[in-house]
Chain A
């Protein structure tokens, strides 16, 4: 019989710096000295381990995708919220605390991805309910329900958790903390400039001195696509290629669809428009349809209204994520220092209409989890 020579296997199994000899471990009592290391690692008391509860039976803990914030982490979050609250209060925004439970139907309006990810359950009468999965529809419900007592423009802010399903063993949390503000009933360009100004001020006051914002306008791409005259199914394919930034696949598909070379060149040009004012000039130079040009002019107006934030504003006309939802300006807030997306926002003028009130709306929302983790 052949025997295979094996080197002694030693490993730092519990991550505490002590090497354990795996080969000679006593099979009766495997790694007895490591139990304390494991219990410390898991954050459970020794007595629970000693009662043998850790391996087979249930310990008292949290379901996957949830966590506690304890002491420093909690204080950090509270500090950020206080800074935001001070800036927003000074700008005449008032707080709302929407209900934590909604009818699932609420999320049939607005951003469609949210409905599929809502954590749902049944009411006593078997109506479908959901844990709050997004703040904006709740805010829209509140404001629409309070009209005409509320006099637009309505300025409000919120802070709290939303809950969303994730894949099994996903790296994402199911409870996400958000803080944001909405300006409902305010017209562009003044309202857009105001909300962007407030958002950047919040970030700076909360310690994100390097925060920048990537700005786009849904009308730029929509105008270009509308000028192609494609049917909805083809449009979805095109949108998907653009969303993946797969410009070769996009160009090939447009060619198959018989789109003229000069128009394809416009799509290609748009995919390179990122940067300062020159990116806008480039776009204006290559796009010929009226809707795109109006949208570019709106972005120029936005920058002109915010001289204080010049240098913080990056035009990124390539980003069309969530373009179904936004109708005008779109914001993505970033911290270069932390390589992180801090939040998003934009104008969604059709949302209030879905709640029976014809009011334009613009807002932003930050991930409090990300803000808390960037120090």
Chain B
């Protein structure tokens, strides 16, 4: 028995926009907005099943094949180095991943730099590309506070408007990458559930690029 196509939706800041994009592509999820505590949500036509998941878990589910597809930020994808297809850049949740430091701070030269981040692998890759090897401290939240408390000299973190940085007396040193949400697809699902997956890709691609 072939199961319906399972799609992971990111809980949190991307959730409403992801559901909105799908709806504009004709894939409406009646229970998406409500206070429903269902774990699995079906679309109107019963073609897809949606599971809201924590964004950082979505590439793990999709790469392993436990979920067929998902919507997730490219920041998480690059950090996990996931081996999945990324057929559509959805253009939602746009922000930048930047290296930032306190305005008053002079970054130490050589290997003494300490960088706090939620993205240790991405940070390491970024500095390796510059032939630098700072000490990377992995944190799970409120990264911008680390320099104030003396845990690190600089941070690598997401910036949308720059307000949080300014409020904490920090400025952008350099952009690491631009970030936006992607549709990701499991490699096997693309083949064995190709009709439904291709429909999903076409609908989202049309909404994003031809009917913005």
Contacts and interface: CB of A to CB of B under 8 A. Distances in A.
A342 to B, nearest CB: 10
B89 A274 contact: no
A340 B66 CA distance: 11
Given A336-B2, A339-B2, A341-B187, A244 B192 contact: no
A246 interface: yes
A341 B188 contact: yes
A136 interface: no
A64 to B, nearest CB: 15
A334 interface: yes
A3 to B, nearest CB: 27
B64 A171 contact: yes
Interface string B1-18: 111000000000000000
A274 B191 CA distance: 9
B60 A171 contact: yes
Nearest to A252: B89
A340 B209 contact: no
A170 B133 CA distance: 26
Contacts of A336: 2, 192
Contacts of A335: 192
Interface residues of B, number: 25
B194 A246 contact: no
A247 B2 contact: no
A246 B192 contact: no
Given A214-B191, A332-B191, A337 B89 contact: no
Contacts of B88: 246, 248
A244 B3 CA distance: 24
A321 B191 CA distance: 13
Interface string B53-72: 00000001000111010000
A50 interface: no
Contacts of A171: 60, 64, 66
A244 B64 CA distance: 16
Contacts, number: 53
Nearest to B205: A248
A166 B121 CA distance: 16
A296 to B, nearest CB: 20
Interface string B83-99: 01111110000000000
A50 to B, nearest CB: 36
Interface residues of A, number: 22
Contacts of B1: 337
Contacts of B89: 246, 248-249
Given A336-B2, A339-B2, A339-B3, A247 B87 contact: yes
Contacts of A314: 191
B64 A246 contact: no
B118 to A, nearest CB: 17
Nearest to B1: A337
B89 to A, nearest CB: 6
B190 interface: yes
Contacts of B193: 339
A337 B194 contact: no
A341 B65 CA distance: 10
B2 A245 contact: no
A39 to B, nearest CB: 28
Given A171-B60, A171-B64, A339-B3, A334 B87 contact: no
Contact of A244 (B2, B85, B209): B85
The 7 closest A-B pairs by CB, nearest first: A245-B85, A244-B86, A341-B188, A171-B64, A245-B87, A336-B192, A246-B86
Given A246-B88, A248-B205, A336-B192, 11 more contacts: A244-B87, A246-B85, A246-B86, A246-B89, A247-B87, A248-B209, A337-B1, A337-B2, A339-B68, A339-B189, A339-B192
Interface of A: 171-172, 214, 244-249, 274, 314, 316, 319, 321, 332, 334-337, 339-341
26 contacts: A171-B66, A244-B84, A244-B87, A245-B85, A245-B86, A245-B87, A245-B185, A245-B190, A247-B87, A248-B88, A248-B89, A248-B209, A249-B89, A334-B191, A334-B192, A337-B2, A339-B2, A339-B3, A339-B65, A339-B68, A339-B189, A339-B193, A340-B65, A340-B188, A341-B188, A341-B191
